[in-house]
Structure 1
């Protein structure tokens, strides 16, 4: 990923996605907004700990920096589901100015409509952006550990294939900053859920620092399931940035001990 700063707003872009004409994408950092306290500064999530007017200002600042409008931003109500929603033009802007209009119980969004910026929020969960340059289809995925072991990233690619005729070999993927294997310590119940959902855990789980604890690699778990449905390894870019280790640049629930905001990942077809 590369770091971009415009009008004091910081965001990041995947090298594999930034060269396509007519495509915009970004992963926001913390710098450049108006929120204060644990949510300082570019918090994009409507929450009890932050004022709605500040969050909306942050979203408008980000939209201006990346070259669109807050009315392009389209959000799902992220509930750690594996529900994938195909977004129509009529749904453009849902959740952009207020959380009440978010697409219900949705953690992955797909569209081929121009002017619809698909958005996911994160603070340790894995944001995943996808693009099929041949069929001109985009997707944004919120993959926490539940979504990851539920194979939401793979299900999104399969939905792109089923709905729009995408060839999985044409799909380009960016796996964004999230809690890394260095910091994601989990218990037996999470490991068992991962085994049930993902099968072979070799290379995904290591023994933790504490007895009965394990380190789970969400980056590799998402990369592996994408490869299993036909996405080429060379087309999967993993940011490899741990949000806990770098919570000065990205919001991290664990790194900030729960008092934090949300950063966003977005992708949009411009033309």
Structure 2
């Protein structure tokens, strides 16, 4: 079982973080083998077993792992002490329609699932607050990164200049061909389109750089460029490491990107 990690976050001993890969599980077919997502068509018992193995590897109880029910929204939920004291049913309800989690609590794991969309971790080493963000193109357009940082500031008094960010394995610009409606959506939200879009001269199709688009948002909110790390790993072109909905259809496995505060 292999994990991908960020260099800039690995220096903090109180933070354990990870992006999973395809190896180490029991799923088959497009889910071979370490699928950790419950909503893409895999057999539920396989996902449950895979999550048990995952939790054993990160040394945490499965009931201390929190994954939202993602809908490409810009909704952010804090896993705080009040949340942890709620009944499981109420916790599950709060995790619905959510695409980013953050926490200050120790000994729990938070994470999001991806298979091409951009996973982003933001860490405040001074306040010891961790955020895990699922930013597909819709989440990027809706600036879920900014909303997450605002919640870190609002609830935990984080300062943007203290924050570190990691942009994880996801679809690269070369592979992310989009229609004009996607370009228009980015233009409407006033992204610097000339910096994040290219046009393929052969196909005349447009391609968006989601890594750069999210980096622009992070910088816009006050995070230093030197505190932002981009993994540079494309999920589409690394079938030996990652699931990819673009390569395998939506009926593919999912990785988890997240972390634990110790």
Query: Where does residue 126 of structure 1 map in the other structure?
Result: 118
- Is 1:219 the equivalent of 2:226? no
| Matching residue of 1:6 | none
Does 2:23 correspond to 1:52?
no
1:216-270, CA deviations, whole angstroms, 9 ceiling, x for partnerless residues? 0000000010000000111111001110011221110011133311011111111
In the alignment, structure 1 residue 186 sits paired with structure 2 residue 186: no
Aligned with residue 241 of structure 1, among 230, 233, 236? 233
Structure 1 residues 56-205: aligned runs within 5 Å: 56-92=48-84, 103-205=95-197
2:245 aligned residue? 253
Q: Secondary structure at the match of 1:254?
A: helix
* Pair 93,37 (structure 1): closer, same or farther in 2 beyond 3 Å: farther
Unaligned runs of 5+ in 1: 1-8
SS of the aligned residue for 2:66 comes to strand
* Deviation per residue, 1:9-41 (Å, 9 max, x gap): 111111111121221110000001010111010
Gaps of 5+ in 2: none
Q: 1:118: how far off?
A: 1.1
In 2: Cα distance, 1:31 partner to 1:215 partner: 30
Q: What is the TM-score when the length of structure 2 is the normalising length?
A: 0.93
SS of 1:202's equivalent?
Answer: helix
**Residues in 1 aligned to 2:123 and 2:64: alpha-carbon distance in whole angstroms:** 18
Greater RCO between the two (CA within 8 Å, min separation 6)? 2
Q: In structure 1, what is the Cα distance between the partners aligned to 2:118 and 2:196?
A: 15
Q: Which has the higher helix share?
A: 2
Does residue 33 of the first structure (1) align with residue 29 of the second (2)? no
> Aligned Cα RMSD in Å?
2.0
In the other structure, the counterpart of 2:12 is 20
- SS for the counterpart of 1:153 is helix
Q: State the SS of the aligned residue for 1:60.
A: helix
**Residues 40 and 253 in structure 2, CA contact (< 8 A), matched pair in contact too:** no
Distance 1:30 1:37, change over 3 A: same
